[in-house]
Amino acid sequence: MSNFEFYYRLTYRRAKDEARIDWHREEPPLLLKEAVEAGEKHGRALDIGCGTGVNSVFMAQLGFSVTAVDFIPEALPFGIRRAEKAGVKVDFVAADITKYETADKFDLILDAGCFHGFNERYRILYRDKLLGWLSEEGQYVLIHFSRAHALGIVGPRGRKRKEIEEFFGPQLKLENFLPETGGKPLCQYRFRKLSLLAKA
């Protein structure tokens, strides 16, 4: 088990409630809300690194068929309880997103804290999977630290806006960007997959 995984598993195990988890947020990201408003339909959604399930439940309440994936099994009971309380159905899956396989296509994919934990090798694998999962003109919302974790042992490997935009281009077009979230260096990106017609 890596230091990264150990840290997250221990945090969820020790948490008696969601408020004790540092990265827990009750309010969905602004650009996730914007993506929902900009979408033409409420189809399938994928929540990568779903954590306590706040965003998964939010999307399900709006009519999306939601698959929520986290590689920390201890995180999922929080999301399951939240979905049950809200009276919505969410398919919670314990899996490493770089190994997760599905034939489903998603109209909306959210990553609120997963991508910035990967090294270069896994970033590329992640991107390839993401592009295969996104439906034509599907949207991708990324919440990403703009700088590295102070300890350098666990936590985010931050990258700047230019790096992120170039990494996901040209297949994904950046439609909006917010530099900070709640006073923290959490940047928000909203991408849209270019349609086959636009590429022709």
- Range with lowest mean pLDDT among 74-88, 120-134, 149-163, 176-190: 149-163
In this model, does residue 151 exceed pLDDT 50? no
- Residue range 31-52: average pLDDT? 88
Average pLDDT, the chain: 84
Please state, in angstroms and rounded to a whole number, the distance separating the CA atoms of residues 61 and 65: 9
Average pLDDT over every residue of 158-176: 91
What pLDDT is stored for residue 23 in this prediction?
62
pLDDT at 179: 87
Give yes or no for residue 158 having a pLDDT over 80. no
Per-residue confidence band for 152, with pLDDT thresholds at 50, 70 and 90: very low
Tally of helices (H runs) and strands (E runs) in the chain: 7, 7
CATH number, residue 185: 3.40.50.150
Domain that holds residue 101: 3-199
For residue 110, pLDDT over 50 is answered with yes
More confidently predicted of 63 and 155: 63
Tokens 């049950």 — which residue? 84
User: Residue 8: pLDDT band by 50, 70, 90 thresholds?
Assistant: low
Dump strand ranges (E) for the chain. Answer: 44-48, 65-70, 90-94, 106-111, 134-145, 172-178, 186-193
pLDDT reported for residue 106: 97
Structural domain total, the chain: 1
Mean pLDDT is lowest, of 37-51, 66-80, 90-104, for 37-51
Mean pLDDT lowest among 31-45, 126-140, 177-191 = 177-191
